[in-house]
Chains A and B, each alone.
Chain A
Amino acid sequence: MCLAVPMKVLHVEEMTADVDIGGIKKRVRLDIIEPKPVTGDYVIVHAGFAIHIIDEKEAKITLGYLKEVLACGTETSQ
Protein backbone atom coordinates (compact mmCIF):
# COMPACT_ATOMS: atom_id res chain seq x y z
CA MET A 1 0.00 0.00 0.00
CA CYS A 2 2.85 2.30 0.58
CA LEU A 3 5.97 2.15 -1.47
CA ALA A 4 8.91 3.29 0.62
CA VAL A 5 12.61 2.65 0.23
CA PRO A 6 15.71 2.75 2.43
CA MET A 7 17.98 5.64 1.43
CA LYS A 8 21.28 6.79 2.85
CA VAL A 9 21.48 10.31 4.26
CA LEU A 10 24.23 12.36 2.62
CA HIS A 11 23.54 15.79 3.98
CA VAL A 12 21.03 17.33 6.38
CA GLU A 13 19.58 20.82 6.42
CA GLU A 14 16.89 22.28 8.63
CA MET A 15 13.85 20.77 6.98
CA THR A 16 15.38 18.72 4.17
CA ALA A 17 17.97 16.02 3.66
CA ASP A 18 19.77 14.78 0.56
CA VAL A 19 19.50 11.01 0.36
CA ASP A 20 20.80 8.32 -1.95
CA ILE A 21 19.82 4.88 -3.18
CA GLY A 22 22.29 3.11 -5.45
CA GLY A 23 23.60 6.45 -6.73
CA ILE A 24 20.21 8.10 -7.26
CA LYS A 25 20.01 11.22 -5.16
CA LYS A 26 16.90 13.02 -4.03
CA ARG A 27 16.08 15.83 -1.63
CA VAL A 28 13.46 14.73 0.90
CA ARG A 29 11.47 16.58 3.57
CA LEU A 30 12.00 16.11 7.29
CA ASP A 31 8.66 17.51 8.48
CA ILE A 32 7.41 14.26 9.94
CA ILE A 33 10.49 12.70 11.48
CA GLU A 34 11.94 13.24 14.92
CA PRO A 35 14.70 13.14 15.96
CA LYS A 36 16.16 14.35 12.68
CA PRO A 37 18.49 11.91 10.92
CA VAL A 38 22.21 12.62 10.67
CA THR A 39 24.61 12.04 7.81
CA GLY A 40 25.26 8.33 7.36
CA ASP A 41 21.88 7.20 8.69
CA TYR A 42 19.57 5.21 6.48
CA VAL A 43 16.03 6.54 6.38
CA ILE A 44 12.82 5.07 4.98
CA VAL A 45 11.51 7.44 2.33
CA HIS A 46 7.87 7.62 1.26
CA ALA A 47 6.45 10.13 -1.23
CA GLY A 48 9.32 12.56 -0.77
CA PHE A 49 9.40 12.42 3.03
CA ALA A 50 11.77 10.64 5.39
CA ILE A 51 9.47 8.74 7.76
CA HIS A 52 11.84 6.64 9.87
CA ILE A 53 15.53 6.22 10.71
CA ILE A 54 16.44 2.60 10.11
CA ASP A 55 17.55 0.95 13.30
CA GLU A 56 20.96 -0.50 12.43
CA LYS A 57 21.12 -2.49 15.64
CA GLU A 58 17.76 -4.13 14.97
CA ALA A 59 18.74 -4.75 11.34
CA LYS A 60 21.85 -6.60 12.52
CA ILE A 61 19.82 -8.60 15.02
CA THR A 62 17.29 -9.55 12.32
CA LEU A 63 19.99 -10.54 9.86
CA GLY A 64 21.78 -12.46 12.60
CA TYR A 65 18.52 -14.24 13.38
CA LEU A 66 17.95 -15.03 9.72
CA LYS A 67 21.44 -16.47 9.42
CA GLU A 68 20.80 -18.50 12.55
CA VAL A 69 17.66 -19.83 10.89
CA LEU A 70 19.97 -20.63 8.02
CA ALA A 71 22.31 -22.60 10.25
CA CYS A 72 19.50 -24.51 12.00
CA GLY A 73 17.74 -25.07 8.70
CA THR A 74 20.76 -26.91 7.40
CA GLU A 75 20.63 -29.30 10.33
CA THR A 76 16.92 -30.07 10.02
CA SER A 77 17.21 -30.63 6.32
CA GLN A 78 19.97 -33.20 6.66
Chain B
Amino acid sequence: MELKHLNEYRDRDICRKIVEKIRVAARKEIRLMEVCGTHTMSISRNGIQGLLPKTITLLSGPGCPVCVTAQGEIDGFIKLSKMEGVITTTFGDLLRVPASESSLERERAEGADVRIVYSAFDSLEIAENNPGNEVVFLGIGFETTAPTIAAAIIEAEKRGLKNFSVVSANKLVPPVLDVLMKDKRLKLHGLICPGHVSVIIGAQAYIPLAEKYHIPCVVAGFEPADILQAIHMLVNQIQKGESSVEIAYRRGVTFEGNNRAKDVMDKVFETCDADWRGIGLIPQSGLRLREQFLSFDAEKKFDLSIKETKEPDGCACGDILIGVKSPTECPLFGKTCTTTHPIGPCMVSTEGTCAAYYKYH
Protein backbone atom coordinates (compact mmCIF):
# COMPACT_ATOMS: atom_id res chain seq x y z
CA MET B 1 0.00 0.00 0.00
CA GLU B 2 1.21 3.46 -0.84
CA LEU B 3 2.38 5.54 2.11
CA LYS B 4 0.79 8.95 2.36
CA HIS B 5 2.95 9.98 5.28
CA LEU B 6 0.06 11.26 7.35
CA ASN B 7 -2.53 8.83 8.68
CA GLU B 8 0.02 6.07 9.21
CA TYR B 9 1.26 8.11 12.16
CA ARG B 10 -2.18 8.67 13.63
CA ASP B 11 -2.79 5.02 14.40
CA ARG B 12 -4.36 4.45 17.80
CA ASP B 13 -2.71 1.06 18.40
CA ILE B 14 0.75 2.28 17.51
CA CYS B 15 0.32 5.32 19.74
CA ARG B 16 -1.00 3.25 22.63
CA LYS B 17 1.91 0.86 22.45
CA ILE B 18 4.51 3.63 22.36
CA VAL B 19 2.80 5.15 25.39
CA GLU B 20 3.11 1.79 27.17
CA LYS B 21 6.80 1.72 26.33
CA ILE B 22 7.21 5.24 27.67
CA ARG B 23 5.33 4.27 30.83
CA VAL B 24 7.68 1.38 31.47
CA ALA B 25 10.79 3.47 30.81
CA ALA B 26 9.86 6.68 32.62
CA ARG B 27 10.63 5.95 36.22
CA LYS B 28 11.63 9.37 37.50
CA GLU B 29 10.37 12.92 37.06
CA ILE B 30 11.15 14.09 33.55
CA ARG B 31 10.71 17.60 32.16
CA LEU B 32 10.76 17.87 28.38
CA MET B 33 10.29 20.92 26.23
CA GLU B 34 8.67 20.92 22.84
CA VAL B 35 10.36 23.89 21.25
CA CYS B 36 7.99 24.22 18.34
CA GLY B 37 4.50 25.74 18.46
CA THR B 38 3.18 23.30 15.88
CA HIS B 39 4.21 20.53 18.27
CA THR B 40 2.34 22.32 21.06
CA MET B 41 -0.74 22.38 18.83
CA SER B 42 -0.47 18.73 17.88
CA ILE B 43 0.07 17.67 21.50
CA SER B 44 -3.03 19.60 22.57
CA ARG B 45 -5.18 18.64 19.63
CA ASN B 46 -4.48 14.96 20.04
CA GLY B 47 -4.63 14.99 23.83
CA ILE B 48 -1.10 13.58 24.12
CA GLN B 49 -0.20 14.97 27.56
CA GLY B 50 -3.11 13.09 29.11
CA LEU B 51 -1.82 9.78 27.71
CA LEU B 52 1.63 10.17 29.23
CA PRO B 53 2.55 9.00 32.72
CA LYS B 54 2.33 11.70 35.39
CA THR B 55 6.10 11.66 35.75
CA ILE B 56 6.52 13.34 32.36
CA THR B 57 5.90 17.07 32.08
CA LEU B 58 5.81 18.70 28.67
CA LEU B 59 6.72 22.38 28.57
CA SER B 60 6.13 24.61 25.60
CA GLY B 61 8.99 26.59 24.13
CA PRO B 62 9.52 29.76 22.14
CA GLY B 63 8.74 28.20 18.77
CA CYS B 64 5.83 30.33 17.67
CA PRO B 65 7.06 33.05 15.32
CA VAL B 66 4.05 35.25 15.94
CA CYS B 67 4.52 35.06 19.68
CA VAL B 68 8.19 36.02 19.67
CA THR B 69 7.82 38.90 17.23
CA ALA B 70 8.64 41.95 19.33
CA GLN B 71 5.85 44.39 20.00
CA GLY B 72 8.00 47.16 18.48
CA GLU B 73 8.12 45.14 15.25
CA ILE B 74 4.36 44.73 15.20
CA ASP B 75 4.02 48.48 15.81
CA GLY B 76 6.26 48.93 12.77
CA PHE B 77 4.02 46.63 10.70
CA ILE B 78 1.01 48.68 11.72
CA LYS B 79 2.72 51.96 10.89
CA LEU B 80 3.43 50.54 7.45
CA SER B 81 -0.13 49.37 6.88
CA LYS B 82 -1.40 52.91 7.56
CA MET B 83 0.82 54.48 4.90
CA GLU B 84 -0.86 55.86 1.80
CA GLY B 85 -0.61 53.52 -1.18
CA VAL B 86 0.93 50.64 0.76
CA ILE B 87 -0.47 47.12 0.45
CA THR B 88 0.81 44.97 3.29
CA THR B 89 0.82 41.23 2.75
CA THR B 90 1.15 38.77 5.57
CA PHE B 91 0.52 35.23 6.69
CA GLY B 92 -2.89 34.91 8.37
CA ASP B 93 -1.19 34.24 11.68
CA LEU B 94 -0.14 37.85 12.15
CA LEU B 95 -3.47 39.55 11.52
CA ARG B 96 -4.80 39.60 15.09
CA VAL B 97 -1.62 40.09 17.07
CA PRO B 98 -2.16 43.11 19.31
CA ALA B 99 0.52 45.80 19.24
CA SER B 100 0.70 48.75 21.63
CA GLU B 101 -2.42 50.42 20.23
CA SER B 102 -3.89 48.36 17.45
CA SER B 103 -3.62 45.23 15.31
CA LEU B 104 -3.45 44.67 11.57
CA GLU B 105 -7.03 43.43 11.71
CA ARG B 106 -8.15 46.71 13.28
CA GLU B 107 -6.23 48.72 10.72
CA ARG B 108 -7.91 46.71 8.00
CA ALA B 109 -11.27 47.66 9.51
CA GLU B 110 -10.10 51.30 9.35
CA GLY B 111 -9.39 50.92 5.65
CA ALA B 112 -5.79 49.69 5.46
CA ASP B 113 -5.09 47.32 2.56
CA VAL B 114 -3.88 44.25 4.44
CA ARG B 115 -3.93 40.99 2.49
CA ILE B 116 -3.42 37.47 3.67
CA VAL B 117 -1.15 35.37 1.50
CA TYR B 118 -0.31 31.69 1.60
CA SER B 119 3.22 32.22 0.34
CA ALA B 120 5.74 35.09 0.16
CA PHE B 121 5.68 34.42 -3.57
CA ASP B 122 2.01 35.46 -3.76
CA SER B 123 3.14 38.96 -2.75
CA LEU B 124 5.16 39.20 -5.96
CA GLU B 125 2.03 38.68 -8.01
CA ILE B 126 0.26 41.33 -6.00
CA ALA B 127 3.17 43.74 -6.63
CA GLU B 128 3.07 43.02 -10.37
CA ASN B 129 -0.68 43.54 -10.52
CA ASN B 130 -0.56 46.80 -8.54
CA PRO B 131 2.28 48.80 -10.10
CA GLY B 132 0.96 52.04 -8.56
CA ASN B 133 1.24 50.67 -5.02
CA GLU B 134 4.05 49.65 -2.74
CA VAL B 135 3.68 46.02 -1.67
CA VAL B 136 5.34 45.10 1.61
CA PHE B 137 5.56 41.54 2.83
CA LEU B 138 5.77 41.16 6.61
CA GLY B 139 8.38 38.48 6.94
CA ILE B 140 8.09 36.49 10.13
CA GLY B 141 9.17 32.95 10.76
CA PHE B 142 12.10 30.74 11.56
CA GLU B 143 14.57 28.89 9.37
CA THR B 144 11.77 27.01 7.60
CA THR B 145 10.15 30.19 6.33
CA ALA B 146 13.19 32.44 5.86
CA PRO B 147 14.43 30.60 2.71
CA THR B 148 10.99 31.00 1.11
CA ILE B 149 11.16 34.75 1.72
CA ALA B 150 14.73 34.85 0.44
CA ALA B 151 13.64 33.03 -2.73
CA ALA B 152 10.86 35.58 -3.24
CA ILE B 153 13.36 38.43 -2.92
CA ILE B 154 15.72 36.82 -5.44
CA GLU B 155 12.81 36.39 -7.83
CA ALA B 156 11.72 40.02 -7.28
CA GLU B 157 15.21 41.15 -8.22
CA LYS B 158 15.13 38.93 -11.30
CA ARG B 159 11.78 40.38 -12.37
CA GLY B 160 12.98 43.93 -11.64
CA LEU B 161 10.12 44.60 -9.20
CA LYS B 162 10.70 48.03 -7.72
CA ASN B 163 7.50 48.21 -5.68
CA PHE B 164 8.12 45.12 -3.56
CA SER B 165 9.89 45.03 -0.22
CA VAL B 166 10.07 42.94 2.93
CA VAL B 167 10.28 43.60 6.64
CA SER B 168 12.63 40.95 7.91
CA ALA B 169 11.58 39.92 11.39
CA ASN B 170 12.82 36.38 10.83
CA LYS B 171 14.42 34.62 13.76
CA LEU B 172 16.77 31.70 14.32
CA VAL B 173 16.15 28.75 16.61
CA PRO B 174 19.59 27.58 17.89
CA PRO B 175 20.49 30.94 19.52
CA VAL B 176 17.25 31.08 21.52
CA LEU B 177 17.73 27.47 22.64
CA ASP B 178 21.14 28.46 23.94
CA VAL B 179 19.54 31.25 25.97
CA LEU B 180 16.95 28.81 27.34
CA MET B 181 19.52 26.27 28.38
CA LYS B 182 21.37 28.95 30.37
CA ASP B 183 18.21 29.67 32.38
CA LYS B 184 18.67 27.97 35.73
CA ARG B 185 14.92 28.04 36.48
CA LEU B 186 14.03 25.66 33.67
CA LYS B 187 15.62 22.37 34.78
CA LEU B 188 14.99 20.56 31.50
CA HIS B 189 15.89 16.94 30.88
CA GLY B 190 15.38 16.87 27.15
CA LEU B 191 14.42 18.84 24.06
CA ILE B 192 11.86 17.82 21.45
CA CYS B 193 13.44 19.70 18.55
CA PRO B 194 11.36 21.30 15.79
CA GLY B 195 10.76 19.11 12.75
CA HIS B 196 10.41 21.56 9.92
CA VAL B 197 13.09 23.99 11.05
CA SER B 198 15.34 20.93 11.14
CA VAL B 199 14.40 20.00 7.57
CA ILE B 200 16.39 23.11 6.65
CA ILE B 201 19.13 23.39 9.29
CA GLY B 202 19.59 19.65 9.87
CA ALA B 203 19.80 17.84 13.18
CA GLN B 204 23.51 18.71 13.34
CA ALA B 205 22.49 22.20 14.46
CA TYR B 206 21.69 20.82 17.93
CA ILE B 207 25.00 19.04 18.47
CA PRO B 208 26.71 22.05 20.12
CA LEU B 209 23.74 22.38 22.44
CA ALA B 210 23.70 18.71 23.40
CA GLU B 211 27.42 18.79 24.07
CA LYS B 212 27.56 22.08 25.93
CA TYR B 213 24.59 21.46 28.20
CA HIS B 214 24.50 17.64 28.25
CA ILE B 215 20.90 17.71 27.09
CA PRO B 216 19.33 14.98 24.95
CA CYS B 217 17.85 16.40 21.73
CA VAL B 218 15.42 14.50 19.50
CA VAL B 219 13.97 15.98 16.32
CA ALA B 220 10.28 15.10 16.00
CA GLY B 221 7.69 15.06 13.25
CA PHE B 222 4.18 16.39 13.84
CA GLU B 223 1.88 13.40 13.88
CA PRO B 224 1.02 11.84 17.24
CA ALA B 225 3.15 8.74 16.68
CA ASP B 226 6.10 10.96 15.66
CA ILE B 227 5.88 12.98 18.85
CA LEU B 228 5.41 9.93 21.06
CA GLN B 229 8.35 8.22 19.40
CA ALA B 230 10.52 11.28 20.10
CA ILE B 231 9.42 11.28 23.75
CA HIS B 232 10.25 7.59 23.97
CA MET B 233 13.73 8.19 22.53
CA LEU B 234 14.31 11.06 24.96
CA VAL B 235 13.18 9.00 27.93
CA ASN B 236 15.54 6.22 26.88
CA GLN B 237 18.47 8.64 26.62
CA ILE B 238 17.64 10.18 29.97
CA GLN B 239 17.45 6.78 31.68
CA LYS B 240 20.83 5.84 30.22
CA GLY B 241 22.37 9.19 31.10
CA GLU B 242 23.09 9.98 27.47
CA SER B 243 22.84 13.35 25.76
CA SER B 244 23.00 12.92 22.03
CA VAL B 245 21.14 14.27 19.04
CA GLU B 246 18.72 11.83 17.42
CA ILE B 247 16.05 12.09 14.74
CA ALA B 248 12.59 10.60 15.22
CA TYR B 249 11.48 12.11 11.90
CA ARG B 250 13.91 10.51 9.49
CA ARG B 251 11.58 10.65 6.52
CA GLY B 252 11.77 14.44 6.74
CA VAL B 253 14.99 15.36 8.46
CA THR B 254 18.65 14.58 7.89
CA PHE B 255 21.67 15.53 9.97
CA GLU B 256 22.89 17.77 7.19
CA GLY B 257 19.70 19.65 6.36
CA ASN B 258 18.68 21.28 3.10
CA ASN B 259 21.83 22.90 1.71
CA ARG B 260 20.10 24.50 -1.23
CA ALA B 261 17.67 26.29 1.13
CA LYS B 262 20.52 27.31 3.40
CA ASP B 263 22.43 28.76 0.42
CA VAL B 264 19.41 30.76 -0.74
CA MET B 265 18.86 32.08 2.78
CA ASP B 266 22.55 32.93 3.10
CA LYS B 267 22.62 34.72 -0.22
CA VAL B 268 19.92 37.17 0.82
CA PHE B 269 20.22 37.40 4.60
CA GLU B 270 22.95 37.86 7.19
CA THR B 271 22.55 37.31 10.90
CA CYS B 272 21.97 40.21 13.26
CA ASP B 273 20.97 40.74 16.86
CA ALA B 274 17.24 40.43 17.34
CA ASP B 275 14.67 41.35 19.92
CA TRP B 276 12.40 38.49 21.05
CA ARG B 277 9.13 39.36 22.64
CA GLY B 278 9.23 38.61 26.33
CA ILE B 279 12.82 37.35 26.15
CA GLY B 280 14.78 40.39 25.01
CA LEU B 281 17.78 40.91 22.78
CA ILE B 282 19.55 37.75 21.66
CA PRO B 283 22.85 38.20 19.80
CA GLN B 284 22.93 36.89 16.23
CA SER B 285 19.43 35.44 16.44
CA GLY B 286 17.81 37.42 13.63
CA LEU B 287 18.17 37.86 9.90
CA ARG B 288 18.57 41.13 8.00
CA LEU B 289 18.95 41.72 4.29
CA ARG B 290 22.48 41.78 2.91
CA GLU B 291 23.73 45.00 1.36
CA GLN B 292 23.12 43.74 -2.16
CA PHE B 293 19.39 43.41 -1.40
CA LEU B 294 18.89 46.56 0.68
CA SER B 295 16.58 48.03 -1.95
CA PHE B 296 14.07 45.36 -0.82
CA ASP B 297 14.36 46.32 2.83
CA ALA B 298 11.06 47.92 3.86
CA GLU B 299 12.54 49.16 7.12
CA LYS B 300 14.99 51.34 5.16
CA LYS B 301 12.62 52.18 2.33
CA PHE B 302 9.92 53.53 4.64
CA ASP B 303 12.20 54.68 7.42
CA LEU B 304 10.53 52.55 10.08
CA SER B 305 12.46 53.05 13.26
CA ILE B 306 11.47 49.96 15.16
CA LYS B 307 11.60 50.60 18.88
CA GLU B 308 11.27 48.27 21.79
CA THR B 309 8.02 48.66 23.74
CA LYS B 310 6.71 47.47 27.07
CA GLU B 311 4.73 44.27 27.53
CA PRO B 312 1.11 44.62 28.69
CA ASP B 313 0.82 44.83 32.50
CA GLY B 314 0.67 41.46 34.18
CA CYS B 315 1.23 39.50 30.93
CA ALA B 316 3.49 36.53 31.55
CA CYS B 317 4.11 35.68 27.88
CA GLY B 318 7.85 36.21 28.35
CA ASP B 319 8.13 33.51 30.99
CA ILE B 320 5.61 31.29 29.23
CA LEU B 321 7.57 31.47 25.99
CA ILE B 322 10.63 30.01 27.63
CA GLY B 323 8.71 27.43 29.62
CA VAL B 324 9.42 28.93 33.05
CA LYS B 325 5.73 29.49 33.67
CA SER B 326 2.73 27.55 32.45
CA PRO B 327 -0.23 29.58 31.13
CA THR B 328 -2.31 28.84 34.22
CA GLU B 329 0.32 30.64 36.31
CA CYS B 330 -0.32 33.91 34.45
CA PRO B 331 -2.68 36.20 36.38
CA LEU B 332 -4.44 37.22 33.14
CA PHE B 333 -4.94 33.72 31.70
CA GLY B 334 -8.59 32.80 31.18
CA LYS B 335 -9.68 35.93 33.06
CA THR B 336 -8.96 39.04 31.03
CA CYS B 337 -6.89 37.20 28.42
CA THR B 338 -8.90 34.71 26.34
CA THR B 339 -8.93 33.63 22.71
CA THR B 340 -11.83 36.04 22.16
CA HIS B 341 -9.96 38.92 23.82
CA PRO B 342 -6.28 38.09 23.71
CA ILE B 343 -3.82 40.35 25.52
CA GLY B 344 -0.48 38.65 25.00
CA PRO B 345 0.86 37.05 21.83
CA CYS B 346 0.76 33.52 23.27
CA MET B 347 -3.03 33.77 23.30
CA VAL B 348 -3.38 35.31 19.85
CA SER B 349 -1.45 32.89 17.76
CA THR B 350 -3.31 29.66 16.99
CA GLU B 351 -0.21 27.77 18.00
CA GLY B 352 0.59 30.01 20.97
CA THR B 353 1.03 28.12 24.22
CA CYS B 354 -1.80 29.98 25.96
CA ALA B 355 -4.22 29.58 23.05
CA ALA B 356 -3.50 25.86 22.88
CA TYR B 357 -4.00 25.51 26.66
CA TYR B 358 -7.16 27.59 26.59
CA LYS B 359 -8.69 25.75 23.67
CA TYR B 360 -7.84 22.18 24.41
CA HIS B 361 -7.27 21.71 28.15
Contact = CB atoms under 8 A, between A and B. Distances in A.
Direct contact of A and B (CB under 8 A): yes
A77 B253 CA distance: 32
Residue of A6, A31, A32, A55 contacting most chain B CB atoms (<10 Å)? A32
A56 interface: yes
Contact of B264 (A32, A44, A61, A73): A32
Contact of A51 (B91, B118, B258): B258
Contact of A62 (B119, B142, B197, B251): B251
B14 A59 contact: no
A32 B38 contact: no
Nearest to A36: B260
Contacts of A32: 147-148, 150-151, 258, 260-261, 264
SS class of chain A's interface: helix, strand, loop or mixed? Answer: mixed
**Interface range, B side:** 35 or more
A2 B36 contact: yes
Contact of B14 (A1, A29, A33, A66): A66
B250 A61 contact: yes
A75 to B, nearest CB: 10
A72 to B, nearest CB: 8
A4 B14 CA distance: 23
A51 B150 CA distance: 13
A4 B261 CA distance: 15
A46 B118 CA distance: 9
A56 to B, nearest CB: 7
A51 B262 CA distance: 11
Nearest to B151: A31
Given A29-B119, A31-B264, A70 B14 contact: yes
Contacts of B351: 1
B285 to A, nearest CB: 14
Interface of B: 3-6, 8, 13-14, 16-18, 20-21, 24, 35-38, 63-65, 91, 118-122, 141-142, 144-145, 147-148, 150-151, 154-155, 194, 196-197, 199-200, 225, 229, 232, 248, 250-253, 258-261, 264, 351
11 contacts: A1-B64, A3-B196, A5-B6, A6-B4, A29-B151, A47-B144, A48-B122, A51-B261, A63-B8, A69-B21, A76-B20
